[in-house]
């Protein structure tokens, strides 16, 4: 990282990581910066990409005269790093320690309340200056994180697809989706279908192979470029709505919620055959495919669906869907996805999910 960072010619770099990260990979990063002649200013990330967290970090770093910021860790730390660097007016280098989401390559940050409820997003004029991913680090992390990244990445193609078909749809940068972004999204999905199982098996064994290399590229680069330029739709709208239910937010990763959102979107599009194909892949790698696997019991479903239906309609890109999206449509689509997921889990088994979730 230090060697790559010299391309930016920094003298003083802020290093944003969690407390656990600083105790672990942080030592390696600090040594790398030191060896490259870059003075480091470590900062501990508090855990939520919230405006109070961002403002506190900016206040602490404003007097440090840093000329770049390195954000290393998971998605929320990375998004917070982008927001902090933008306010400081310095470039940001992203060092994901997990391949669990597509945040690293995008010029935006998803914001949350201090309690972890999604509150919107910020968009920046520049992409990160560098994104450095070490697949040895990814392979050493729990398998569940890579699998969650597949859930996030799989949505890229299905959301880009509806945006390309809808003449009124816009990408996250306020432009019509390009054919190139659709092609990136499609290759992203094809890569996951082809290599996802082998990549998950590699991480389970703590090994790096070609399948893992390609899936890390899909989860990080292809998905990041694809969603930003191809557009978002109902998959992420439903996914972000799950953060409003405390026990789902506390117990599940972003990509796991996106997996459920993708199935709901495909039902919304009346594409049950494609939804089954996706659900079978999700079940094979251990992603949730029905509400019970998000810890939503039968007695809780009505209340949960009320929350999800309302929050989905508040998502800024829900209008990219080709049809009007109503609370009733959201409820019906989530319920249909749940029925499908239960059937797939019954046919294929839920061993992968149980193994990743220790159940």
CB 140 within 8 A of CB 206: yes
**pLDDT attached to residue 117:** 87
**pLDDT attached to residue 120:** 86
Instruction: Give the pLDDT mean for 326-352.
Output: 96
**pLDDT attached to residue 116:** 87
CB 45 within 8 A of CB 18: yes
Give yes or no for residue 264 having a pLDDT over 80: yes
Other C-beta atoms within 10 Å of 323: how many?
Answer: 11
Q: For residues 68 and 66, give the distance between their C-alpha atoms in angstroms, rounded to a whole number.
A: 6
**pLDDT attached to residue 302:** 95
Q: What is the 3-state secondary structure (H, E, C) of the chain?
A: CHHHHHHHCCCEEEEEEEHHHHHCHHHHHHHHHHHCCCEEEEEEECCCCCHHHHHHHHHHHCCCCCCEEEEEECHHHHHHHHHHHHHHCCCEEEEECCCCCCCCCCCEEEEECCCCCEEEEEECCCCCCEECCCHHHHHHCCHHHHHHHHHHHHHHHHHHHHHHHCCCCCCCCCCCCCHHHHHHHHHHHHHHHHHHHHHHHHHHCCCCCHHHHHHHHHHHHHHHHHHHHHCCCHHHHHHHHHHHCHHHHHHCCHHHHHHHHHHHHHHHCCCHHHHHHHHHHHHHHCCCCCHHHHCCCHHHHHHHHHHHHHHHHCCCCHHHCCCCCCHHHHHHHHHHHHHHHHHHHHHHCCHHHHHHHCC
Output the furthest CA–CA distance in the chain (Å, rounded).
59
Over the stretch 140-161, which tens digit does the pLDDT of each residue have?
999 999 999 999 999 999 999 9
Instruction: Give the pLDDT mean for 7-26.
Output: 95
Q: How many residues does the chain have?
A: 359
β 92-96/68-73 pair status: parallel
Residues forming beta bridges with residue 73, ordered by sequence position: 96
Instruction: Give the pLDDT mean for 216-242.
Output: 96
CB 114 within 8 A of CB 246: no
**pLDDT attached to residue 290:** 98
Over the stretch 83-135, which tens digit does the pLDDT of each residue have?
999 999 999 999 999 999 999 999 999 999 998 888 988 999 999 999 999 99
What contacts 183, CB < 8 A, 6 or more positions away?
none
Over the stretch 187-201, which tens digit does the pLDDT of each residue have?
999 999 999 999 999
pLDDT bracket for residue 358 (50, 70, 90): confident
Averaged confidence pLDDT in the chain: 96
**pLDDT attached to residue 118:** 85
pLDDT bracket for residue 175 (50, 70, 90): very high
Q: For residues 133 and 96, give the distance between their C-alpha atoms in angstroms, rounded to a whole number.
A: 6
pTM for this model (two decimals): 0.93
Give yes or no for residue 359 having a pLDDT over 80: no
Q: Which of the two residues, 110 and 277, has the higher pLDDT score?
A: 277
CB 28 within 8 A of CB 57: no
254-268 and 272-285 helices, crossing angle to 10°: 160
Give yes or no for residue 23 having a pLDDT over 90: yes
Percent of the chain beyond pLDDT 70? 100
Q: Which residue has the tokens 């790698």?
A: 285
């Amino acid at each position: 990282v230090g060697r790559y960072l010299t391309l930016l010619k920094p003298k003083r770099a802020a290093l944003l990581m969690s407390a656990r990260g600083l105790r672990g990979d942080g030592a390696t990063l600090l040594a790398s910066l030191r060896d490259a002649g870059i003075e480091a200013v470590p900062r501990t990330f508090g855990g939520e990409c919230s405006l109070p967290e961002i403002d506190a970090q900016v206040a602490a770093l404003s007097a440090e005269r840093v000329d770049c910021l390195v954000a290393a860790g998971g998605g929320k730390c990375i998004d917070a790093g982008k927001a902090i660097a933008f306010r400081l007016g310095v470039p940001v280098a992203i060092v994901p320690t997990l391949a669990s989401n597509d945040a690293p390559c995008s010029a935006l940050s998803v914001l949350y309340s201090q309690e972890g409820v999604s509150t919107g997003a910020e968009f920046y004029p520049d992409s990160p200056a560098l994104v450095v991913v070490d697949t040895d680090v990814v392979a050493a992390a729990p398998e569940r994180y890579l699998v969650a990244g597949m859930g996030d990445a799989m949505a890229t193609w299905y959301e880009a697809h509806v945006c390309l078909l809808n003449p009124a749809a816009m990408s996250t940068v306020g432009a019509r989706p390009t054919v190139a972004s659709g092609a990136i999204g499609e290759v992203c999905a094809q890569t996951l279908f082809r290599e996802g199982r082998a990549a998950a098996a590699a991480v389970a064994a703590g090994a790096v192979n070609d399948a893992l290399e390609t899936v890390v590229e899909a989860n990080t680069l292809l998905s990041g470029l694809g969603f930003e330029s191809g557009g978002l739709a109902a998959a992420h709208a439903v996914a972000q709505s799950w953060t409003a239910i405390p026990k789902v937010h506390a117990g599940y990763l972003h990509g796991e919620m996106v997996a459920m959102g993708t199935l709901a979107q495909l039902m919304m599009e009346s594409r049950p055959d494609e939804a089954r194909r996706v659900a079978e892949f999700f079940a094979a790698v251990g992603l949730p495919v029905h509400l019970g696997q998000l810890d939503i019991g039968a007695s809780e479903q009505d209340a949960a669906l009320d929350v999800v239906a309302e929050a989905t309609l508040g998502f800024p890109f829900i209008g990219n869907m080709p049809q009007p999206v109503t609370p009733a449509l959201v409820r019906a689509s989530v319920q249909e996805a749940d029925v499908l997921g239960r059937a797939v889990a019954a046919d294929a088994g839920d061993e992968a999910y149980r193994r990743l979730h220790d159940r």
